[in-house]
Amino acid sequence: MWKIAGIELESRLFLGTAQYRSPELLRQAIAASKTQVVTVSLRRQSKALHGAENFWSIIQQSGVHILPNTAGCRSVKEAVSTAQMARQVFNTNWIKLEVIGNEHTLQPDPFGLVEAARILCGEGFSVFPYTNDDPVVAERLLASGCRILMPWGAPIGSGRGLQNEYALQILRDQFPHTPLIVDAGIGAPSHAARAMELGYDGVLLNTAVARSEDPPRMAKAFANAVTAGRLAFEAGLIQAKQKAEASTPVLGTPFWQQDNPGSPL
């Protein structure tokens, strides 16, 4: 069990709900992932889900916690207004805060993000900010009232994995007591496992599951990867070395060696 924003969870995998080809695939993926938190957006509704009523029915029946997001917002005003509406609609103070600053990479706008976080934290929100891997921005977000950080692994939907492990490790080392969740860019279960091996508290992903050929099966793969990565971190990974080190001692005489060197046994 672990605790984030006042809620105790068993799963460390957060799952997005966009881009699924059918309501049934979404339902199966949520079940297979064993996630307890899904992200939803007021600004985006897939036509493939045949209407919001069907979509919300699936979410409610799954029994998961809802993390609304401000996906697609390009300004502080837009993000804050969306968050306020989301609190009314979903009856939760949780909000995944996105303020997009670059149309090509969908990289967050650090200046707008910090300002929007300051406003929303002041209004009692538990803000989950989608940010870059800059420790200075992280410090500003924490100073604004955030208690959780969600740095990207790579651009949203790119599937490129952890593009800057060094920067992510610095964040983990610099903020050891802050919940850190890698958000965006995860494309394979191995990427998720690696994030967890670095000591991150969780992983949030969407496209890698939703757009796979078999979303439920892929969701299960990611669930296993997150668990494996966390166990490896807690167990303690060995340090990488520049040269080989035999696992079997090379000193001494093997027990099967005979006094007679000519003997086959």
Question: Which residues form the catalytic set?
Answer: 96
C-alpha distance from residue 74 to each of 40, 97, 107, 206 (Å): 18, 11, 11, 20
Residue 95: exposure state from Cβ atoms within 10 A (0-12, 13-18, ≥19) = buried
Residue 9 β-bridge partners: 2
Distance (Å, whole) CA 34 – CA 152: 23
- Contact predicate 89/59, CB 8 Å: no
DSSP code of residue 47: G
Distance (Å, whole) CA 109 – CA 111: 6
With tokens 């009314």, the residue in question is 88
Distance (Å, whole) CA 258 – CA 265: 7
Structure tokens of 146?
């955030």
